[in-house]
Amino acid sequence: IAGITQAPTSQILAAGRRMTLRCTQDMRHNAMYWYRQDLGLGLRLIHYSNTAGTTGKGEVPDGYSVSRANTDDFPLTLASAVPSQTSVYFCASSEGNEQFFGPGTRLTVL
C-alpha cells in the first residue's frame, strides 16, 4: 500500500539519550516534513526538505536534526533528548496541493 511509514510507533526514552525517528515514503514526493503535535498547539513544523539533498528549518528546529540522502527517507534525530520533546511526531510528504501524513510516533522522554 502506497503511503508513509514511520518507526517506531511509540517509544519511551531516557533523557540525554540519542534517538532517530524513521520516515519512509513510496510516492516519490519531493517535499517531506516533520511536525510535532502537542495538546492545544496543533502541529508545529520542525524541519522540512523540498528535495533530496536539501533541508530547511521550521518553527521549532532546536534540538532536532534531519537529513535527506534520497527521495524516500527523511529521518529525524534527537541528539540528546529532553522531557520537553515528549510529543507525537508526524512525518508528511507533499506533491502539488495535497500533503500526506504518516501514522505518527508517540515519544515520551523521561
Partner 1 sequence: AQKITQTQPGMFVQEKEAVTLDCTYDTSDQSYGLFWYKQPSSGEMIFLIYQGSYDEQNATEGRYSLNFQKARKSANLVISASQLGDSAMYFCAMRENNFNKFYFGSGTKLNVKP
Stretch that binds partner 1, among 18-26, 53-61, 63-71, 72-80 (CB under 8 A): 53-61
The yes or no reply on residue 8 touching partner 1 (CB under 8 A) is no
Kindly tell me which residue out of 101, 108, 109, 110 binds partner 1, with binding defined by CB under 8 A. Answer: 101
Q: Which is nearer to partner 1, 35 or 85 (CB)?
A: 35
Kindly tell me which residue out of 53, 99, 108, 110 binds partner 1, with binding defined by CB under 8 A. Answer: 99
The yes or no reply on residue 11 touching partner 1 (CB under 8 A) is no
Q: 3-state secondary structure string, the chain?
A: CCCEEEECCEEEECCCCCEEEEEEECCCCCEEEEEEEECCCEEEEEEEECCCCCCEECCCCCCEEECCCCCCECCEEECCCCHHHCEEEEEEEEECCEEEECCCEEEEEC
- Closest distance between partner 1 and the C-beta of residue 20, in Å? 21
Q: Which is nearer to partner 1, 14 or 97 (CB)?
A: 97
- For residue 87, report the phi and psi dihedrals to the nearest 5 degrees: -175, 175
Q: Which is nearer to partner 1, 17 or 57 (CB)?
A: 57
